[in-house]
A and B are shown apart, each in its own frame.
Chain A
Amino acid sequence: MILINIISLFLLYYLKKSSGPEGFPVHLNRYFNYGMVASGIFIVLGATQLPPEFLFELLSFALVGAIIYLILNTPELEYQKTLAITPLPIIGVQLLEYLIETISPSIYDILENYLDAAGFFALIWAVTMWLNHRKQMKELEIERIFLKEQERQLKATAEQKNQLEALVAERTSEILKQKEELQKALNHLQSTQSQLIQQEKLASLGQLTAGIAHEIKNPLNFVNNFSELSVDFLEEIGEEMAKISDSPEKENILELLEDVKSNLVKIRHHGSRADSIVRSMLMHSRGGTGSMEPTDLNALIREYANLAFHGMRANPKPINVDIKLDFDEKLPQIKLNGEDFSRVILNLVKNSFDAMRDKISALGNEYKAKVEIRTKDLGDQILIEVEDNGPGVPDEIRDKLLMPFFTTKKGTEGTGLGLSITHDIIKSHEGKLEIESKVGEFTRFSILLPKIKSTEKSS
């Protein structure tokens, strides 16, 4: 009977060990442990031959039966089914022996030889089945290893695929970035190109303008000089006429000569007007000659505001103006085309004088004309303000103020190019010109100049 318990113990031990890497559920392991303890106890009891032998043997059969039942009915042990069949003949023969021996020992004696033989065959069966089972298990194991390897390879492939995908995504984004950069460069190139074309057009227009302006100077030379000459001659004629005795004819001639003289003076006046237009046009088209030099802006403004004032005082129709300079004395030197920029100051200040002259003639002495020029360091920019308390600029003409040949000055006083040139010069310094005004109160021209030009930044 010890054999049955050894089989039980062996089965349990084998099952417990056969658990894969995942292990068995806890309750199954507990069964195995209890079963092993029970079979161990039964083995000891069997060895000591302690009574009641009958109960102990029955329990042994129950235990092995339970184990086989467990193997057959537990899904986790499905693959161990052959293991359940292996000891069956032995158990059968033992059970038979036990039953016969218990029920009728006399019959047992008669059948003992047969039963021994059956036990022997059952043993052979068990060994065969066991070997078979071992073989099956080995195959299963190989299959399991194979599957595991396959799974590992699959996992590796998936990982590789992921890595590749990440790489592809990375490359794609790199290419996209490059594409964007190229697009940007292309756009920049295109805008530069269109700017160049525009500049080219303007340059050729400028050349044409300059050519025309120059050629006009030749006939103007004659117009101005001949008219001047004729005025001189008329004066001489007048002197000679004084020597001739008076007569109605002489009076008539003198009157006519006076008219001719006045006409010639007008021709001379309009000729010099045309000349100043032509000169302004040439300044306009001349563009960017002269170099940008570090300049003390305050000193430049002081000098040219002064010059504008004395020029105005020396010319016809001088006015009284209070000029106030409010300079930021910590202003750093700034790169300027001094010759061009001095024209900006001259133009703006002269412009103020002309505007205020109109207000003086409208309001008389109650009005005190005043021009205030300010400079201020704004960090990366410099602010220059020229503010007068003149008549102001109505909104509807403020936008036109910077257009070439737009002028508010009556008749023949202005060329209409002063502010346009001023604006061009400021633009060539990458600056901005803004005009604020309130009619009847003030006009303020604000110039914002960058301290560092974009051309300097890029180089």
Chain B
Amino acid sequence: MKILIVDDERDVEDLFRQKLRKEIRSGMLELEFAFSGKEALDILASENPPKVVYVFSDINMPGMSGLEMLEIIKERFPQIQVSMISAYGDEANYKKAMDSGAKEFYTKPVNFENLKKEIASLSTSTF
């Protein structure tokens, strides 16, 4: 199961790789990282159909915002689940994300327990 994580901060890669080390090692998860919305869309477009089944994305990023990217993904790849991870957990962002088809909304600092549960539920439902 391939998951794409989108965030403008590069340390996110280390964090996710370390936090999900067991899952990656066991082969249950494959992680891919993009550091902008555009990069994420390029990755998704490079495979047909994309192997990525779930995207976790930051909202506040230079260039394309996570919410803009969410809309495009939902339009082009409606089968891919998208959840947002943002420091801005306010009502407006939350509503915008949910209205655009986000599955979940996580606030930073990320609680990986919840994140792992979400990923686990996904793997049991899709595989």
Q: Which residues of A are interface residues toward B (Cβ below 8 A)?
A: 214-215, 217-218, 220-226, 228-229, 233, 271-272, 275, 282, 286, 289
* Distance A217 CA – B107 CA, assembled complex (angstroms): 9
Q: Which 3 A-B pairs rank lowest in CB-CB distance, beginning with the nearest?
A: A217-B87, A221-B108, A221-B109
Q: Name the residue on B nearest A211 (C-beta).
A: B88
- Residues in A neighbouring B19, C-beta threshold 8 A: 225, 229
Q: Is the CB–CB distance between A221 and B87 below 8 Å?
A: yes
Q: Name the residue on B nearest A290 (C-beta).
A: B91
- Residues in B neighbouring A271, C-beta threshold 8 A: 109
Q: Is the CB–CB distance between A229 and B87 below 8 Å?
A: no
B99-121 vs A, CB cutoff 8 Å, 1 = contact: the mask equals 00000000111101000000000
- Residues in B neighbouring A282, C-beta threshold 8 A: 90
Q: Is the CB–CB distance between A218 and B108 below 8 Å?
A: yes
* Distance A221 CA – B112 CA, assembled complex (angstroms): 11
Question: Taking each of B11, B87, B112, which has the highest tally of chain A beta carbons within 10 Å of its own beta carbon?
Answer: B87
In the complex, given contacts A221-B110, A228-B112, A286-B90, what are 10 additional A-B residue pairs having Cβ atoms less than 8 angstroms apart?
A214-B60, A215-B87, A217-B108, A222-B9, A223-B109, A225-B110, A226-B15, A229-B15, A229-B19, A272-B109
B29-54 vs A, CB cutoff 8 Å, 1 = contact: the mask equals 00000000000000000000000000
Q: Is the CB–CB distance between A225 and B91 below 8 Å?
A: no
- Residues in B neighbouring A226, C-beta threshold 8 A: 11, 14-15, 18
Can you sample 17 A-B contacts with CB below 8 Å?
A: A217-B87, A217-B109, A220-B109, A221-B15, A221-B87, A221-B108, A221-B110, A222-B9, A225-B15, A225-B110, A225-B112, A226-B15, A226-B18, A228-B112, A229-B18, A233-B18, A272-B109
* Distance A229 CA – B87 CA, assembled complex (angstroms): 20
* Distance A233 CA – B15 CA, assembled complex (angstroms): 13
Shortest CB–CB separation between residue A343 and chain B, in angstroms?
Answer: 16
Shortest CB–CB separation between residue B4 and chain A, in angstroms?
Answer: 18
Q: Is the CB–CB distance between A222 and B11 below 8 Å?
A: yes
Shortest CB–CB separation between residue A301 and chain B, in angstroms?
Answer: 25
Q: Is the CB–CB distance between A220 and B15 below 8 Å?
A: no
- Residues in A neighbouring B107, C-beta threshold 8 A: 217
- Among B9, B88, B109, which residue has its beta carbon within 8 angstroms of that of A275? B109
- Residues in A neighbouring B9, C-beta threshold 8 A: 218, 222
- Residues in A neighbouring B87, C-beta threshold 8 A: 214-215, 217-218, 221
Q: A217-B108, A217-B109, A275-B109 are in contact. Are A222 and B91 (CB under 8 A)?
A: no
- Residues in A neighbouring B15, C-beta threshold 8 A: 221-222, 225-226, 229
Shortest CB–CB separation between residue A278 and chain B, in angstroms?
Answer: 9
Q: Name the residue on B nearest A228 (C-beta).
A: B112
B45-71 vs A, CB cutoff 8 Å, 1 = contact: the mask equals 000000000000000100000000000
Q: Name the residue on A nearest B15 (C-beta).
A: A225
Shortest CB–CB separation between residue A218 and chain B, in angstroms?
Answer: 5
- Residues in B neighbouring A286, C-beta threshold 8 A: 90
Shortest CB–CB separation between residue B127 and chain A, in angstroms?
Answer: 26
Shortest CB–CB separation between residue A337 and chain B, in angstroms?
Answer: 13
* Distance A286 CA – B14 CA, assembled complex (angstroms): 33
- Residues in B neighbouring A217, C-beta threshold 8 A: 87, 107-109
Shortest CB–CB separation between residue A296 and chain B, in angstroms?
Answer: 25
Shortest CB–CB separation between residue A258 and chain B, in angstroms?
Answer: 21
Q: Is the CB–CB distance between B109 and A224 below 8 Å?
A: yes
Q: Name the residue on B nearest A286 (C-beta).
A: B90
* Distance A226 CA – B78 CA, assembled complex (angstroms): 33
Shortest CB–CB separation between residue B90 and chain A, in angstroms?
Answer: 7
* Distance A398 CA – B108 CA, assembled complex (angstroms): 35
- Residues in B neighbouring A218, C-beta threshold 8 A: 9, 87, 108
